[in-house]
Amino acid sequence: MHHLGMSRPAPAPIYTLRGAGGPLNTLHFKCHAGDPPLLLSGSAKGAIHIWNLNSRRAEKIIEGHSGSSVIWVSTLHSTDTVISQGRDMRVCLWDLVEGRSEVVDSVWTGSVGFCQCSLLEMSPGTSLLAFAGEQTEEIKIVELPSKTPVCTLVPDAKLGMVMTIKLWQPDSGPGPLLLAGYEDGSLLLWDVNQRSKLSQAKVHPEPVMCLTLDTKCLRGISGSSEKKLTSWVVDRQNNLQIQDYVTLVNPGVSQLCIREDGKLLASAGWDHRVRVFGWMRLKPLAVLQYHTDMVLSVAFSDHQDPRQRLLAAGSKDQRISLWSIYNKEASTG
């Protein structure tokens, strides 16, 4: 039996970043023309590293959440603000202009869980921030920088903890929508302006650990602790419909990420591996083996030149691996 890919050598990372000093829960690229490309990471030991991808060294290390695990980092495109979320129940906004690293503001979430925030830039200067709230099933949305409460979303039924959320602004329709995955395996679609549930689907028998959405075609995918990814669509009537399943070799996915061009999907596996799929047909394309413990985070870079695009993975083994894959306009299925 001829195995496709046996003749090709297994891919290796183009380089790795060491010295984060803790498991890497979250990664976020900032690669804009004219500036050195950066990768931000958040560690379970409470550090935010800002890695310069040209020098491959940490340009800055912020000890942000009084030693508590950092579970999410992002940036506001319109300003030089870094935003981070810690298990100290705080979301912090950092001003990094001219070498400073000061907390400009913070939002108290009251949440003890691991649910990462979701950020949506509405217009230059204003954003919405969604986070799991103090009550088990509650999602809160506030406006930034004013911190004005927008709404609280609570389902009618008992679905358990909020596990993963994604806020986005559809092309058609008045206001933002929010997808939320819950502990009982349910996925809910919320209308933020109406504060109402639009649709609900049971996508996993176990808690929904992660989800990602391709906002261009309103198709998404979610993972859990089992051996299956579930893909689904949001139709024109804002109904969630399960579309397809991907059976994994080993159970457990920490994070899923779709490349900006809609061609690739990457998964962070509990089996120490990163798996790459063609996003259109969910065809397995590559297994990236380097890490010696669970992969906790994956991110695609936002380089403007597609040939420079990278895939980064962060692991419990305290290392970040960077990969250059499928950057030429090859058929990825």
Instruction: Tell me if the bond preceding 145 is cis, omega within 30° of 0.
Output: yes
pTM of the model: 0.94
Q: What is the pLDDT of residues 155-171, one digit of tens each?
A: 999 999 999 999 999 98
Q: Residues 6 or more apart from 178 whose CB is under 8 A from it?
A: 118, 130, 139, 141, 153, 165, 166, 167, 168, 189, 190, 192
Query: Using 50, 70 and 90 to split pLDDT, how confident is the model at 6?
Result: very low
> Quick check: 16 pLDDT over 60?
yes
> Quick check: 2 pLDDT over 50?
no
Residues 66 and 152 in one domain: no
Domain-embedded: residue 18? no
Q: What is the pLDDT of residue 100?
A: 75
Query: Using 50, 70 and 90 to split pLDDT, how confident is the model at 199?
Result: very high
> Quick check: 226 pLDDT over 70?
yes
Here the tokens at position 106 are 């913070």
Domain-embedded: residue 243? yes
Domain interval for residue 284:
252-324
**Beta-bridge partners for 198:** none
- Indicate if the alpha-carbon torsion angle 306, 35, 315, 135 is positive or negative: negative
Q: What is the CATH number of the domain that holds 79?
A: 2.40.10.480
Residues 72 and 49 in one domain: yes
> Quick check: 4 pLDDT over 50?
no
Domain-embedded: residue 16? no
Sheet holding 177-182, edge to edge: 162-168, 177-182, 186-191, 196-202
Residues 154 and 230 in one domain: yes
Residues 301, 303, 305: CA angle, nearest 5 degrees:
135
> Quick check: 215 pLDDT over 70?
yes
Domain-embedded: residue 168? yes
> Is the separation of the CB atoms in 152 and 139 below 8 Å?
yes
H or E element: which one contains 176? Answer: none
Q: What is the pLDDT of residue 8?
A: 61
Q: What is the pLDDT of residues 280-311, one digit of tens each?
A: 999 999 999 999 999 999 999 999 888 899 99
Domain C-terminal end among 52, 73, 108: 108
Domain-embedded: residue 190? yes
Residues 201 and 281 in one domain: no
In this structure, of 62-76, 89-103, 161-175, 268-282, the range with the lowest mean pLDDT score is 89-103
| Number of domains forming the structure of the chain | 3
Average pLDDT of every residue of the chain: 93
Residues 237 and 264 in one domain: no
Residues 126 and 202 in one domain: yes
Query: Using 50, 70 and 90 to split pLDDT, how confident is the model at 79?
Result: confident
Q: What is the pLDDT of residue 74?
A: 97
- The two beta strands, 228-234 and 219-223, are antiparallel
> Quick check: 333 pLDDT over 60?
no
Q: What is the CATH number of the domain that holds 274?
A: 2.40.10
Residues 68 and 91 in one domain: yes
Domain-embedded: residue 331? no
Domain C-terminal end among 247, 262, 287: 247
Share of the chain above pLDDT 70, in %: 95
Domain C-terminal end among 232, 247, 262: 247
Q: What is the pLDDT of residue 296?
A: 98
> Quick check: 327 pLDDT over 80?
no
Query: Using 50, 70 and 90 to split pLDDT, how confident is the model at 330?
Result: very low
